[in-house]
């Protein structure tokens, strides 16, 4: 993070990335002195409500973040930034997105958690767009031109006011990661949960194991009266949901999808739920410590595709085993009419024997009430994510195994 004082003194000349968090109410015009080099501008967590037209002078600017500010409209000047590819204005009060505000080179647009009820038809003409995050708005429909987004791979439209399934997305040739829960068109009855409800007083939270957009996962232990007659497993983890809209949708929809699919040997196992006015939580079996993350999330360059630690590689036998398990999980989810929406290596845990545990249902959507043709297309979409999963794993295959028969057979699945 940088300071306004550093910027004004000229100490930041030549930098490519600038981040300022200083309760800014006006755009610091000194940023323009970085026009020859600046590629990433992060003005999130301030109090901005507008951008000056001069921002178009930042000719090298590729990425701008302005989340958690006070914008009520997506600034039109963004459309004048000729090299701008990624726009992130999450958690503002945006109601208006004009045709002029969408950069021609747009690849990644994040407008999560705003008040947008309508998007311009020009959105569909930004055909480089790969990632579109619109969860937590007031959209009643998508632009008709959405069917022109031939490079769109990830779409988040959960927690909106869509009255009908957006058929514009059905023929998008690359859409693979799709979240749509929490809309009137999929307002099904909640699943008949097969796990018990308990009170939050029955366990005690301990150290944090991890956290994501929708909640925090804790290691936990049962309280003195929390596990009568040892009915539950002794070692547990608890995911406490934040109770607000996330980049993927509503926490209650995540919980419902997780409970709907129930138990599978390669899924994180739910054992109880907490549904109290002051807390929504999921109690799960504690995952053994020898499991670790299979992959890392996408970065700015890969956009939608997983990344891996430098030097990470796997033998083809392990890759084959992992893929076979994920194929089984995929079929199991869709047998239960649930689209996971986030089928990635970074949501997968594995051990040295190649056993996997798959989780994170934040983007999951229940599609049981939709027309059969829509249901089958949703499954086809997620099958693309499975193919990318296979392709990403093959990218970390040991060099000596690339000529093997097993590698070639798996490679065929990605073609």
4-38: pLDDT as tens digits = 999 999 999 999 999 999 999 999 999 999 999 99
Q: Are the C-beta atoms of residues 391 and 332 closer than 8 Å to each other?
A: no
* Helix (H) or strand (E) segment spanning residue 9: helix 4-9
Average pLDDT over every residue of 77-104: 97
Q: Give one DSSP letter per residue of 351-372, joined into a string.
A: -TT--EEE---TT-EE-TTS-H
Using the structure block, give the residue that is written with the tokens 């109410």. Answer: 25
Q: What rounded mean pLDDT belongs to the chain?
A: 94
- 179 and 55 in a common domain: yes
Residue 180's pLDDT is 97
Residue 235, pLDDT above cutoff 80? yes
Average pLDDT over every residue of 79-93: 97
Residue 176's pLDDT is 98
User: Quick count: other Cβ atoms within 10 Å of Cβ 400?
Assistant: 10
H helix intervals, 299-369: 316-335
The answer to whether residue 194 is domain-embedded is no
The answer to whether residue 232 is domain-embedded is yes
- 301 and 273 in a common domain: no
Residue 276's pLDDT is 82
256-311: pLDDT as tens digits = 898 889 889 999 999 999 888 888 999 999 999 999 999 999 999 999 999 999 99
Please say which residue of 270, 285, 300 terminates a domain: 285
The answer to whether residue 222 is domain-embedded is yes
Residue 109's pLDDT is 98
The answer to whether residue 366 is domain-embedded is yes
Residue 148, pLDDT above cutoff 80? yes
Q: What are residue 351's phi and psi, to 5 degrees? A: -115, 180
- 136 and 35 in a common domain: yes
- 46 and 10 in a common domain: yes
- 77 and 41 in a common domain: yes
Helix (H, G, I), strand (E, B) or coil at 166: coil
Calpha distance 211→26 (Å, rounded): 33
User: Quick count: other Cβ atoms within 10 Å of Cβ 28?
Assistant: 15
Residue 279's pLDDT is 84
How many domains does the structure of the chain reveal? Answer: 3
179-220: pLDDT as tens digits = 999 999 987 656 566 688 888 999 999 999 988 778 899 999
Determine which of 61-65, 230-234, 306-310 has the lowest per-residue pLDDT on average.
230-234
Calpha distance 160→139 (Å, rounded): 5
The answer to whether residue 193 is domain-embedded is no
- The pTM for the full model equals 0.94
- 55 and 93 in a common domain: yes
Average pLDDT over every residue of 112-121: 97
Calpha distance 26→30 (Å, rounded): 11
Domain of 359 in residue numbering reads as 292-412
> For the range 284-290, what are the long-range contacts, defined as Cβ-Cβ under 8 Å and sequence gap of 24 or more?
284/236, 284/237, 284/238, 284/239, 285/233, 285/235, 285/236, 285/237, 286/219, 286/233, 286/235, 286/236, 286/237, 287/237, 287/349, 287/357, 288/351, 290/351, 290/352
* CATH number, domain with residue 247: 3.30.200.20
- 251 and 301 in a common domain: no
For residue 227, name the pLDDT band (cuts at 50, 70, 90): confident
- 407 and 325 in a common domain: yes
- 154 and 37 in a common domain: yes
Please say which residue of 239, 265, 285 terminates a domain: 285
Helix (H, G, I), strand (E, B) or coil at 308: coil
CA distances from 68 to 79, 87, 109, 235, 339 (A): 21, 13, 15, 38, 30
Q: Are the C-beta atoms of residues 78 and 104 closer than 8 Å to each other?
A: no
The answer to whether residue 116 is domain-embedded is yes
Residue 93, pLDDT above cutoff 90? yes
Average pLDDT over every residue of 118-146: 97
Average pLDDT over every residue of 363-371: 94
| DSSP assignment letter at 188 | P
Residue 259's pLDDT is 85
- 159 and 80 in a common domain: yes
* CATH number, domain with residue 369: 1.10.510.10
Q: For residue 108, give the nearest of 300, 389, 297 by alpha carbon.
A: 300
Q: Are the C-beta atoms of residues 134 and 246 closer than 8 Å to each other?
A: no
Average pLDDT over every residue of 347-373: 95
Percent of the chain residues topping a pLDDT of 90? 83
Please say which residue of 263, 285, 307 terminates a domain: 285
- 55-69 burial, b if ≥16 CB within 10 A, otherwise e? bbebeebbbbbbbbb
The answer to whether residue 191 is domain-embedded is no
Residue 248's pLDDT is 85
Q: For residue 284, give the nearest of 335, 345, 337, 359 by alpha carbon.
A: 359
- 319 and 264 in a common domain: no
Residue 392's pLDDT is 98
* CATH number, domain with residue 180: 3.80.10.10
Strand 236-241 vs strand 154-156: parallel, antiparallel, or unpaired? Answer: unpaired
Calpha distance 97→84 (Å, rounded): 16
- 84 and 42 in a common domain: yes
| Radius of gyration from C-alpha coordinates of the chain | 23
Q: Are the C-beta atoms of residues 45 and 23 closer than 8 Å to each other?
A: no
Average pLDDT over every residue of 210-236: 84
Determine which of 60-64, 245-249, 330-334 has the lowest per-residue pLDDT on average.
245-249
Residues with Cβ within 8 Å of residue 70, at least 6 apart in sequence: 47, 48, 49, 92, 93
The answer to whether residue 195 is domain-embedded is no
Residue 229, pLDDT above cutoff 70? no
């Amino acid at each position: 993070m940088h300071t306004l004082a550093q910027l004004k003194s000229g100490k930041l000349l030549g930098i490519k990335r600038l981040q300022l968090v200083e309760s800014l109410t006006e755009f610091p015009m000194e940023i323009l002195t970085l026009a020859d080099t600046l590629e990433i501008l992060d003005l999130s967590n301030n109090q901005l409500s507008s951008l000056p037209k001069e921002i178009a002078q930042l000719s090298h600017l590729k990425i701008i973040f302005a989340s958690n500010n006070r914008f009520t409209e997506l600034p039109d000047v963004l459309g004048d930034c000729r090299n701008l590819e990624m726009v992130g204005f999450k958690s503002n009060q945006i109601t208006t997105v004009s045709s002029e505000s969408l950069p021609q080179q747009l690849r990644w647009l994040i407008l999560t958690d705003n008040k947008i009820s309508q998007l311009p038809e020009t959105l569909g003409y930004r055909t480089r767009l790969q990632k579109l995050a619109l969860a937590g708005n007031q959209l009643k429909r998508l632009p008709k031109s959405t069917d022109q987004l031939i490079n769109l791979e990830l779409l988040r439209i959960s927690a909106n006011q869509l009255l009908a399934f957006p058929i514009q997305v059905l023929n998008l040739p690359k859409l693979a990661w799709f979240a749509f829960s929490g809309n009137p068109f999929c307002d099904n009855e909640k699943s008949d949960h097969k796990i018990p409800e308990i009170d939050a007083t029955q366990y005690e939270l301990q150290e944090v194991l991890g956290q994501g957009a929708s909640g925090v996962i804790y290691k936990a232990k049962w309280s003195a009266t929390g596990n009568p007659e040892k009915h539950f497993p002794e070692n547990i983890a608890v995911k406490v949901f934040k109770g607000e809209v996330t980049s993927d949708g509503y926490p209650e929809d995540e919980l419902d999808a997780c409970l709907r699919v129930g138990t599978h040997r390669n899924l994180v196992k739910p054992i109880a739920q907490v549904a109290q006015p002051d807390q929504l939580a999921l109690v799960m079996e504690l995952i053994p410590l020898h499991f670790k993350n299979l992959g890392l999330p996408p970065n700015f360059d890969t956009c939608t595709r997983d990344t891996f630690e430098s030097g990470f590689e796997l033998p083809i036998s392990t890759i084959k085993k992992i893929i076979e398990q994920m194929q089984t999980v995929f079929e199991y989810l869709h047998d239960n009419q649930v689209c996971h929406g986030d089928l990635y290596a970074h949501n997968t845990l594995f051990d040295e024997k190649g056993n996997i545990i798959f989780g994170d249902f934040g983007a999951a959507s229940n599609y049981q009430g939709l027309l059969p043709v829509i249901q089958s297309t949703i499954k086809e979409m997620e099958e693309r994510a499975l193919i990318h999963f296979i392709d990403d794993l093959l990218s970390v295959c040991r060099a000596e195994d690339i000529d093997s028969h097993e590698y070639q057979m798996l490679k065929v699945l990605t073609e």
